[in-house]
Structure 1
């Protein structure tokens, strides 16, 4: 047998790039910014009170955080996060996963979702994680105005009053379907910076 390699049959070398991932780092349409729609193609809706959270990430210069990737994660109306450990729980809503990602062009975002329930001493909240150029990740939690449970939430109570206020989204009105609209500004650095948390603290507080 001739072991000589025929040059004409040799495959060309490929670039020495990292393999994958070959999937988008965020969803390619805005449908996932409406977590009340459940699964595409189904007509079911998750349980709970619908809300709209509008916000803006602002850099130290007062400009929007252009091109940032924002990750949202929250519990369902029963206050339970959807994880591998809770998939069999009777409190899991099969029509609500409580997670999405969104790349913002201007720093602005608008998420339609349900208000999470209270459990284990936690007030309704949404965990937001920001990925951007020059930033590994920034994790914070957004709470909602006029919630009695804010007064005992361990995250809010760990902060001085002026810092707590920076994590509370303000009720500014309703949309045409009478869904409450909350607004918040998240300041990345400089004067008035929003409180951010170490990952392990955020994970521990939200479970």
Structure 2
């Protein structure tokens, strides 16, 4: 019984990792709202972890059952969310990142001299020039827009497009994280139900 309880407490504690990772991913995607929701999600998960820990340490079968039911619901939600990510969310996330990037960089590129270092760094790293909403005049391409200087033939890709393409690469990792978390949850459900069964007999 003690070994089951120890195994449960270890797996239960690992359960908080998912929302923390989601907060990091949303931060990388540039979604402040997503990151805030992930933090709220983390706080809720911490409460669930506490519920599981207390129910096992205090030997409370009713709380153990409540914990298991909540975890089963979360398993279903996580699986559904992972499938949505795989089937259609990639396009939505791409458009969101592209629009946010355009809003962020267009004003900075219009005032290029004021934001030169920041804009140059972006354009050189992503091999891009301007945004979908703003194109430099041919005679005024900054050198960071070109591979060869002086700049006469600019990189063809807009920076908001290039930035969205780079950030969208994390979505497969996000789906993987969601799917990796499922065995942790299933293991915690199995262990707590075994503990509960022993308590009830």
Q: TM-score range by the shorter chain?
A: under 0.3
Structure number with the higher helix fraction is 2
Structure number with the higher strand fraction is 1
RCO higher in 1 or 2 (8 Å CA, sep ≥ 6)? 2
TM-score where L is the length of structure 1: 0.23
- The structure with the largest alpha-carbon Rg is 2
